[in-house]
Structures are given as structure tokens and as C-alpha cells.
Amino acid sequence: MAWSWRYEGANGEPAEGPAESFGSQADAESWIGQTWRELATSGVTSVALVEDDRVEYRMSLLPAAE
């Protein structure tokens, strides 16, 4: 089982991002925890964690509204 991230822009369209693959969900989550700021700066607004072709969950990279 391979884990990876899909990247989305402001309108939900696919966005460019690193083509990383991980052996576990924990490794993928650790990596996104270290790189999400760089991704957000490059225009990625949300990501989806994918195991093979199944989406585990989606999450926003935008700051919380105050």
C-alpha cells in the first residue's frame, strides 16, 4: 500500500506539488506537517491523503478564519 498526497488550488482544481510516496500513513502525515507552509505559499489550498486510489481524508492548508 502506497500513501501519497493530492494537491488542490483555490477553486478545487489540481495543483502542482511534489510526487512523494510513503510506506505508511504516519510517514505521509509527518511529511505534510513539515512541508505544508511551503505548499500553501506555492498556491496549494488543500490536500487529500490517498492510499493507492482511495482518499482517506482531505484537509485545508488555509489559516482558520478568526
Q: Which pTM was predicted?
A: 0.89
51 belongs to a structural domain = yes
What is the distance between the alpha carbons of residues 37 and 20, in angstroms, rounded to a whole number?
A: 16
In a domain, 30, yes or no: yes
Query: In terms of residue numbers, what domain contains 26?
Result: 3-60
CB crowding 31-53: b at 16 or more within 10 Å, else e: bbeebbeebbeeebbbbebbeee
pLDDT tens for each residue of 42-65: 999 999 999 998 999 999 999 876
Instruction: Tell me whether residue 39 is in a domain.
Output: yes
Q: How confident is the model at residue 19, as a pLDDT?
A: 94
Q: Which residues have CB under 8 Å from 30's CB, separation 6+?
A: none
Q: Which helix (H) or strand (E) holds 4?
A: strand 3-8
Q: What is the pLDDT of residues 1-33, one digit of tens each?
A: 799 999 999 888 999 999 999 999 999 999 999
Considering its fold, how many domains does the chain have in total? 1
In a domain, 65, yes or no: no
Quote the CA–CA distance of 49 and 35 in Å, as a whole number: 14
